[in-house]
Amino acid sequence: MHIDRDTDPLALFQAWLAEAGQSEPNDPNAMTLATVGPDGAPSARMVLLKGVDERGFSFYTNLGSRKAAELDARPQAALCFHWKSLRRQVRIEGPVERVTDAEADAYFATRARISQLGAWASKQSQPLAGRFELEARVGRYTARFALGPVPRPSHWSGYRVVPGRIEFWEDRPFRLHMRFVFVRADNGWTTGELYP
């Protein structure tokens, strides 16, 4: 792979993601999302990338979740994609912003109906007395919306990580791995190679 200062890191990411789509057994769009809690401690979990373009990397969640509270309090995040089948990794760091209501509505409309109902039923990250409580809530919202469309709940939306730094890593023999970092500058991206 040839990377130089004219390489577009977002185009490179999309190419790698497309390759992962052909080789990863499950969820090539799975990424670790790292946030910071109120005590300054890091918090990480897996989420699914649902959009990437020149504005950034988007995912969706319940706004009452721990991740949403941490992002709203400290709107900075790190993402990490690891495609084991390709022996590649991409790390992204940057500020976070909410997606627009129109974007959230459009994505929500593409979700499976049971996932839409689950978004209404789940009090994500809150204590759950037992499985029956969750199933009863799903039943309640299933009855509420009957056969009609399920609108996006106001407590469900998305976030976009605006990349300030993107690092590409690829396994090479004898641990002489390839590492390139792109840092956003006023007039585009600066590029450099890192020791593995």
- Catalytic residue list: 175
Helix (H) or strand (E) holding 106: helix 101-110
Beta strands in 13-53 (DSSP E): 30-36, 42-48, 51-53
Residues 40, 28: Cα–Cα separation, whole Å: 30
Place of tokens 């129109």: 102
Q: Around Cβ 12, how many Cβ atoms within 10 Å?
A: 17
The type of residue at 125 is: S
Cα dihedral 107/110/111/114 (nearest 10): 140
Residues 81, 30: Cα–Cα separation, whole Å: 7
Q: Is 87 left (phi over 0), alpha (psi -120 to 50) or beta?
A: left
